[in-house]
Amino acid sequence: MNIENLLEKTLTKPQYKAIKILGDQFHKMGTRAFLVGGTIRDLLLEREVSDIDIIVESDPSNLMHKFDPQYQIDVISNSQFSTCKIKILNQAVDLAMAREEIYPTSGALPVVTSSSIEDDLGRRDFSINALAACINPPNWGEVLDLYRGLEDLQSKHVRILHSGSFKDDPTRIFRCIRYSGRLGFSLEDGTRTQLLEDLTYITLLSGVRITNELVKIYSEKSTNSILDLMDQFEVLGHIHPGFPKGPEFSKRKKLLTDISIPTSELVLYILISLIQTDQRMDLIKRLDLGNKLSKFGRDLNRIELIEVSSSRTKIYKQLTEVSEIAISVADAYVSKELRRNLKLFTNELKTISLCIDGEDLMGIGIPHGPKIGDILSKIFTHMINSGPLSKPDQIRMASKFFGDS
C-alpha cells in the first residue's frame, strides 16, 4: 500500500514540505527514514496529525551536521535515548533512532539497543501504532505493516503484538484503554482476555508511572468514555485495593465538575476522594503524590471522620485547619447529614470572630494581664457553641466573665 496521496491530502502544506525535505536529506545521508506511530495511525484515520514522529536507522543527533545548509534546522532538544526534537520550516518534528527494547523485568524500564525499523515496529504497543510509511524518495509513502495494523484500523480494534506485552510494560494497559476510548475502537478478543489476566501487573508500576498515565487520560477529549472503560475493567482496584468497585470513577468525576481544580490535577483529587478513609494515606504514598495532595488527603480524612451528631465546638476544631478545596470536594459526595455539618462550618462557624481586643477590655476596667487573653478566648468559645455576638454583646459578656472570676 502507498499513501502518497493521503500524505498530500491530510498533512498541512508546511508539514508535507518539512517531511519531504527530511526524507530527501536522510536519503542522501544513506539512512532509511519513516513516519511512524501516532502520526501514521492518525493519517490513515484521516484525523488531524498533531505530532510528526520520524524514525531513522541511525542516531539522529549524529546526522544534524550533515543537513544541506540551505535548510534551517533548529535542534530544540536532544535526549540521551537517541531522540531529538527539531524545528524545520517552523514545524516541530520528533526524530528517533530505530531501536529494539528488552524488558529485564515486568514494569521496569527497557534496555534499549539501536536496530532496524522492523525491530522498532516490533517493540511497539499495538498494531495500530506499529505502522510506518517510508519517506525516502524512491519509496515515498510506502506503508510497512508487519503486524496487520491496517486490518485493525479497518475493523476498529486495539490489538497487542504479543501475549507478553502487558506484562513487559503494564502502562500499556492504560494506553490500551485510552486508545480504545479515544478512537471508539474495541479491544480485540485476545487482547481483552490478556488485559483482564494481566491487570495484576499494574502493582509493579511505580507511582509516578501510574500517575502519568492517569493524567494523560484526563487530558483526552474523550475522558468520560475512557473512564467508563476504566470502571468496566475495574482498573482502580488494581492501583489500590481500597477503591470501591463499580462505576465510581466516572460518577465521581461528574460530581466534581463544578469545583475549580486544574484539569491536570483533577484526576488525582478524584482518586484521593474515592478511596476508603483508612486507605487514603497509603494510596498517596503509593502514588508518591507530594505534600499538597497529602494535606488534601489528611483534610478529607478529618472531614469524613466527623461524627454526624458532633457538637458545634467539635466540628469547628475538626475543620478549622481544613482547606476550602477539601471541603468543596467532600461536599459533593458525603452524606446529607455530614454535608449539613460542613455547611454549618462554612456559613457560620468559620465566619465567627472577635470584634473586641485587649484595649476594649481595659477600656471597661479589666486590668492588663493574662485574664484578658482568658476572657477573649472564653467569649470566642461561647460564640462557637451558641452563635455570633455583636460587639456590644461581646463587651457585655467580657464584663460578666470578669465579674464571675
Give the footprint of ligand ATP on this chain (CB under 6 A). 37-38, 51, 53, 124-125, 129, 169, 171-172, 175
- Give least dist CB 191 to ligand ATP, A: 14
CB nearer to ligand ATP: pick between 221 and 336: 221
For ligand ATP, the nearest residue by Cβ is: 38
- Give least dist CB 175 to ligand ATP, A: 6
CB nearer to ligand ATP: pick between 55 and 293: 55
CB nearer to ligand ATP: pick between 166 and 249: 166
- Give least dist CB 235 to ligand ATP, A: 16
- Give least dist CB 34 to ligand ATP, A: 12
CB nearer to ligand ATP: pick between 15 and 171: 171
> How many Cα atoms occupy the beta-carbon half-sphere of 98 within 13 Å?
20
- Give least dist CB 160 to ligand ATP, A: 9
- Give least dist CB 25 to ligand ATP, A: 22
CB nearer to ligand ATP: pick between 23 and 37: 37
- Give least dist CB 38 to ligand ATP, A: 2
- Give least dist CB 320 to ligand ATP, A: 44
CB nearer to ligand ATP: pick between 121 and 319: 121
CB nearer to ligand ATP: pick between 133 and 375: 133
CB nearer to ligand ATP: pick between 48 and 68: 48
